[in-house]
Structure 1
Amino acid sequence: MAAMFSQNPLMNGPNYSFSDAPRAQAPDGAREHRFDPYTDNGGSTLAIAGADFTIMAGDTRLTSGYSINSRFHPKVFKIGGTTADQSDATIALSVVGFTADGEALKERLDAICKMYHYRHGKPMSVKACAQRLSTILYQKRFFPYYAYAILGGLDEEGKGAVYSYDPVGSYEREQCRAGGAAASLIMPFLDNQVNFKNQFIPGSGEGHALQERERRPLTRNEVETLVKDAFDGAVERHIEVGDGLQMMIITREGIQEVILPLKKD
């Protein structure tokens, strides 16, 4: 076990992750070597669409196995702006999974949105951007980006729009979606609090006679509170989530970025 963490060449050289620990040699002296182009750098993201806004959020922890490589590595990015700081961007993209692939995917989509703006004199709509992102992912289907992407913005009617993807480009528009290491912890919470699943009016009946609670659009303040609560719960149960919470709030006035603290253990 000591060889996994040793930098001493006499103890099997550099340290290894648990999945790449050296294997015993075969009887004939042969040794297996393999290369895995993917890794999972942890972290989680989520997005919620409101009546006239969209909020996208992600934690800032970057991990490799049981090591924390960075406590501030954003996972939500502005897309398609014409300035250096993307101050006029209208679309946001979150990527989580393999950081290198996420960065590459973000840069490619951002370049395509910029070219569209220069050629047509207007920003790309979130619907068109969602379709283009699907095409980018499908083009790489034989060697996919190992990243879970969520795209957010406002549609042509000014309503919040969230699009979620699988690694090869299949996508759908949703009210909310979580991705990454703690997705299985956060998504049931969003289903209940945003999609109003399994919420009933107290005293309205028994069993199947219970009346469902009226579904209504959540206010911006309510969504911001839900996002913070979701990540506060996730950091208590998942070691790959924590340190900081980055929120992108998309409205007609633009995109506002908010950074809040999370647990740092």
Structure 2
Amino acid sequence: MAAMFSQNPVMNGPNYSFNQSAAPSSAADGYRQHRFDPYTDNGGSTLAIAGDNFAILAGDTRSTSGYNINTRYEPKVFKIGGSDSTQRDATLILSVVGFAADANALKERLDTVVKLYRYQHGKAMTVKAAAQRLSIILYQKRFFPYYAHAILGGLDEEGKGAVYSYDPVGSYEREQCRAGGAAASLIMPFLDSQVNFKNQYEPGSGVGHNLKERERVLLGRDVVEDLVKDAFDSAVERHIEVGDGLLMMVITKDGIEEIYKPLKQD
């Protein structure tokens, strides 16, 4: 498939093309098929982990187009629903990865909806209500979906960490942890082992079906932050579309804290 955007804008100009032509359908009639492909993948990965009284959403900062690095600092994790543009009192975090333009449009749409709710009702939208609203936003675009993987995080009514993951057309569920983006297939098995304790059993508890599963407990914040860094350190070793920097946002009852850590740049 021909590229929609020229890879050499200096020599050829922007060269935006809506005329992507395939081979003639037959030698006799010479007709050609024309199509428009608006999507691309700008790489990167995100993950989210819910704790007892906090939630952490994180993403790398690399933006790519094929083998090219567009920028080494393109955040994929955002504060949502603050009372002004500084988002100093935001109560939600959204991570989006995939096509950067769609990701940004989705983030702005949800932020507008949550801000409007705050203005109309005089209080912040709950993470459960925001999760349902984001599902509706995605479903409304089901015939031309946002090409992005979204994860929403916050604190529920009991003050416990809540993480909601989505497919492109709005199906969602609350989870303990979830990874998305280019390196999701590398990170998610690590999270299944270290956060969900999948296929882990108590030593000496039996044989075969008599094995006792390891008790599943919520991890502390320090442990989770280390796991997030370890997950991305591993991903950058195996995936060229992930790297440069790691931006983590931690939401607690005291607000949202941003943490930046460097990753490999090669």
* SS in structure 1 of the partner of residue 241 of structure 2: coil
CA–CA separation in structure 2 for the residues paired with 1:145 and 1:223: 30
Q: Is the CA contact 1:5–1:14 (under 8 Å) kept in the aligned structure 2?
A: no
Name the CA distance, whole Å, in 2 between partners of 1:160 and 1:40. Answer: 30
SS at match of 2:35: coil
Counterpart residue number, 1:137: 138
Do structure 1's residue 102 and structure 2's residue 122 form an aligned pair? no
CA distance in 1, matches of 2:134, 2:104: 14
| Map 1:100-179 → 2, pairs under 5 A | 100-179=101-180
Runs of at least 4 residues off by over 6 Å? 4-9, 20-26
Aligned counterpart, 1:39: 40
Q: Contact between 1:136 and 1:169, CA under 8 Å: does it hold in 2?
A: yes
Residue aligned with 1:177, SS: strand
Verify the 8 A CA contact 1:6 1:14 in the aligned structure 2.
yes
Note closer, same or farther for the CA distance 1:163–1:6 as it changes in structure 2 (3 Å cut).
Answer: closer
Cα displacement string for residues 182-236 of structure 1 (whole angstroms, at most 9, x for unaligned residues):
1111111111111111111222223333221111110000100110011111111
Asked if 1:253 is matched to 2:254, the reply is yes
Letter in 1 for 2:169: V
Structure 2: 5+ residue stretches without partners: 1-5
Query: What amino acid maps onto 1:50 in structure 2?
Result: G
Name the TM-score, length of structure 1 as normaliser. 0.90
Unaligned runs of 5+ in 1: none
**1:35 shift after superposition:** 1.9
Between the aligned partners of 1:7 and 1:97, the Cα distance in structure 2 is 23
Q: Distance in 1 between matches of 2:116 and 2:7?
A: 47
1:153–1:250 Cα contact (<8 Å) kept: yes
Cα distance between partner residues in 2 of 1:180 and 1:67: 17
Give the deviation of 1:8 after TM superposition: 9.6
- 1 CA distance for matches of 2:23 and 2:102? 32
Partner of 2:263: 262
CA–CA separation in structure 2 for the residues paired with 1:70 and 1:255: 25
**Partner in structure 2 of residue 234 of structure 1:** 235
Deviations, residues 53-84 of structure 1 (Å, cap 9, x unaligned): 00000000001111110110000000000132
Change (3 A) 1:6 1:21: farther
Matched residue SS, 1:84: coil
Report the counterpart of residue 63 of structure 1 in structure 2. Answer: 64
State the match for 2:3 in structure 1. none
- What is the TM-score normalised by the length of structure 2? 0.90
**Identity score, percent:** 72
Q: Give SS of 1:157's match.
A: coil
- Would the aligned equivalents of 2:146 and 2:168 in 1 still touch at CA under 8 Å? yes
Residue 143 of structure 1 aligns with an amino acid whose one-letter code is: F
Match of 1:213 in 2: 214
What SS does the corresponding residue of 2:102 show, helix, strand or coil? helix
Q: Which amino acid aligns with 2:214?
A: R
Hey, what does 2:204 align to over in structure 1?
203
User: Given the superposition, is the C-alpha separation of residues 8 and 256 from structure 1 closer, same or farther in structure 2, using an over 3 Å criterion?
Assistant: closer
CA distance in 2, matches of 1:130, 1:214: 29
Match of 2:80 in 1: 79
The one-letter code of the counterpart of 2:135 is S
Q: Distance in 1 between matches of 2:111 and 2:97?
A: 17
